[in-house]
Amino acid sequence: MQDEVESGSPNSTPVSDPTPSPNEQLKPRRRRVPRRKRWTTIERDLRLEKGPLLAGVDEVGRGPIAGPVVACAVIMPPDTRAIAGVDDSKLLTHDQRVRLAVKIRERAVAFAIGAASVREIDTINIYQASVLAMQRALTRLRVKPDHVVIDGRAMRTLPIAHTAVVRGDRRCFSIACASILAKVTRDLLMTRLAQRYPQYIWDHNAGYTTREHVVGLTSYGITPHHRKSFCRISDLLLELQHQSELDDHEQQQVLADVGIPDEDDVEDDYFEDADA
């Protein structure tokens, strides 16, 4: 493949002039930088060893304090070129991810989404919830892969044979595709939740701890979609509980000051009359 484009019209005759013009003498020569290969040979080597159908898996949503963790498993065709522009989802804009997600879905041999809820995150911790989301995505694939490659380090509790690749979403095409589909899916989910809970600006922060999100938390408290097991949320709950106790104490003090009787001070026949 020709790397450089020759200048001039197709019918022009090249003229040999050994003496460069003064303008040409001032121009610095461009060094040809060898083009870096975008993807490593990890997937190619695994296909030769394990089989052609390689499922790339990645998850998104470990860090936010709200919303589920979402994983994607995708099998890309082994005999076609990589889709131009695919990269680690964190390095792409929202519009780029959405555009690439359409192409990935169209070309994929199979893909599937798995998720773990906030309740599961609080019950079994975020690491095990991530494993659960990955397992669900893999079991939902309509085509059984020959092998699985995941981003990060090996997960001992994932009951499926896999190869882990550190920074895999930047080194393996199928993992990068999975990261894009997972990110687009989770962002869409958080955008829909933002319509029900607009105070937390989830359509802009996807549940991560931003200034606007914290303002919503301090003003309106937590929702069923907040992760109570995360440190900041736990601290907020303690603060809210403490404030509630102070409010209750102040209310009881006001009642005592104005002489309104407490429920225990009211005789039983009062409630009997009220029930009648």
Complete DSSP assignment for 76-121: --TTSPPPTT---GGGS-HHHHHHHHHHHHHH-SEEEEEEE-HHHH
| 8 Å CB contact between 72 and 137 | yes
User: Three-class SS of residue 251?
Assistant: helix
Is residue 46 a contact partner of residue 147, using CB atoms and an 8 Å limit? yes
Provide the pLDDT for residue 249. 56
Q: d(Cα 274, Cα 272) in Å, to the nearest integer?
A: 5
Q: Could you read off the pLDDT tens digit of each residue along the chain, which spans 276 residues?
A: 333 323 333 344 444 455 555 555 555 555 553 444 668 899 999 999 999 999 999 999 999 999 999 999 999 999 889 999 999 999 999 999 999 999 999 999 999 999 999 999 999 999 999 999 999 999 999 999 999 999 999 999 999 999 999 999 999 999 999 999 999 999 999 999 999 999 999 999 999 988 889 889 988 989 999 999 886 776 766 666 666 666 555 555 543 443 333 333 333 432 333 333
The whole-angstrom separation of Cα 69 and Cα 189 is 11
What SS3 class is residue 226?
A: strand
Distance CA 109, CA 74 (A): 8
CA distance 123 to 126: 9
Amino acid letter, 269: D
CA gap 6, 267 in Å, rounded:
102
Write down the pLDDT at residue 65: 94
Contact between 68 and 119 under an 8 Å Cβ cutoff? The reply is no
Rounded to whole angstroms, how far apart are CA atoms 59 and 69? 7
CA-nearest of 50, 65, 106 to 229 is: 65
Residue 211, pLDDT score: 85
**What is the reported pLDDT for 264?**
38
- Return the structure tokens found at 35: 């083009």
User: CA of 124: how far to CAs of 120, 141, 226, in Å?
Assistant: 6, 24, 15
* pLDDT at residue 188, as a whole number: 96
Tokens of 84: 């131009």
Q: So what's the pLDDT on residue 120?
A: 97
Strand order in the sheet with 110-116: 110-116, 69-75, 54-60, 147-151, 162-165
